[in-house]
Amino acid sequence: MSLNPCAVLQQISPDRQAWFDAVPETPGFILDEKRLAHNLDLMNEIGSVSGCRMLYSIKACPFTGLLQRMPGLLDGFSVSSLFEARLAHEVLAGAGGLHITTPGLRREEMAEIAGLCETVSFNSLNQLQRLAPLLGGRAKAGLRINPQLSFLEDPRYDPCRFHSKLGAPLPQVAAQWRSGRLAARGLSGLHLHTNFGSSSFEPLQRTTAHLEAHLPGLVAEVEWVNLGGGYLFQASDDLRTLFRVIDHIRREWGALVYLEPGSAVVDDAVMLVASVIDRFESDGKSIAVLDTSVNHLPEVFEYQRPPRLLNEEGDGNHATILAGSTCLSGDLFGEYRFSRPLEIDDRLVFTNVGAYTLAKATRFNGHNLPSIYCLDGNGDSILLKAYGYDDYRRQWSESGTRHRQPKPGAGQVD
């Protein structure tokens, strides 16, 4: 694979009809093995050429059928909780490292996390002070820093938003470093994550230069730096900037560099196939109800962001609102145009839904989760996971264990 910025990111041609036919019954998610392999090869090549290490951020999609295809191609996983760490550790089986950073670290989980993870990047100076001693020397301690540089207009996506909870504010870190309260010998690395969905690496260049200017002594001491994720490698013509940033850190800081892509690995490798189950007119608009819902693509509702539709024809004469099948009035995918009116049983394919869909999907209203299929390199579909009523019932059934709260005053002696 060539790393010419124009050639390396050329999308592989989709087999459109294969996506429509891969699901025997809708709704269903399709993992396109060819696209995933293309993305993993790209990540592997970027790591090899730049000398950095690539970690898949499993919060984007923790499905084991996907994770099991990654060891050997990436250097490990980044995780955000104890459960993610357990799952990632099982899948890796020693074939890669685990890095964790989260605002949600708990004292009682630290011993297990230290045994599972290679590095723990603490989210605040307070967290570092209280919990780093609990690592017992088994995992390396890092610190997530908030450089307080914003590159996004929408604060819902901005890790460096005003009053951000993500990372220790840079002025606080600088003050503690100057006072001697933050010692490099107890801090092996730094973690940064300042962007979301960017095809340009110029923000990363600005961020590292900003950090270097304010903490020259600290960056010269750390063993590693994790530059986070939020970058869309396939959509970028800016890989040379990325390589310059990595090369500078390796030469001038003397540090090992990590990147942790999530969406860039899985987003365009997964589709959702749905069918029209009803169609009618409402106040002069055509409505098509699908056998899926925005609860299967939660960010559609959370961010009011219409998903990409493979069937859409921008110059079509028939505008139709695609609606989900739940009782939520806002269960709407958006208005799309078609060359003909949609009919019952017509199939629609939403593309680029690999990230933050399966991880957030719910069974609201008791509607079943979509099955998950793999479309292999030969164009054959394989059922990876199916859900049923038993899964729904198990989710809402009592565990059978009761904990009685003591009555006020119980056990007290006058």
Please report, for the chain, the start and end positions of each structural domain, with discontinuous segments joined by +. 62-261, 268-390
Q: Are 146 and 170 in contact (CB under 8 A)?
A: yes
Q: How far apart are CA 69 and CA 72, in angstroms?
A: 9
Q: Are 322 and 336 in contact (CB under 8 A)?
A: yes
Q: Check whether 399 has a pLDDT greater than 90.
A: no
Class of 268-390 in CATH: mainly beta
- The stretch 109-118 carries a mean pLDDT of 97
Highest mean pLDDT among 19-23, 179-183, 365-369, 408-412: 365-369
Phi, psi of 382 (to 5 degrees): -125, 130
Q: 77 pairs with which residues across the strands?
A: 56, 98
Closest Cα partner for 245 from 273, 218, 211, 271?
211
Question: What is the band of 291 on the pLDDT scale with cuts at 50, 70, 90?
Answer: very high
Q: How far apart are CA 184 and CA 177, in angstroms?
A: 9
Phi, psi of 334 (to 5 degrees): 135, 180
The CATH architecture one would assign to domain 62-261 is Alpha-Beta Barrel (3.20)
Give the residue, 378 or 86, on which the prediction is more confident. Answer: 86
Question: Could you tell me the end-to-end alpha-carbon distance of the chain, in angstroms, rounded to an integer?
Answer: 80
Q: 332 pairs with which residues across the strands?
A: 323
Question: What is the band of 401 on the pLDDT scale with cuts at 50, 70, 90?
Answer: low
The 3-class secondary structure across 395-414, one letter per residue, is HHCCCCCCCCCCCCCCCCCC
Q: How far apart are CA 414 and CA 412, in angstroms?
A: 7
Q: Check whether 259 has a pLDDT greater than 80.
A: yes
Counting every residue written for the chain, the total comes to 414
Q: How far apart are CA 409 and CA 240, in angstroms?
A: 69
- pTM of the predicted model over 0.85: yes
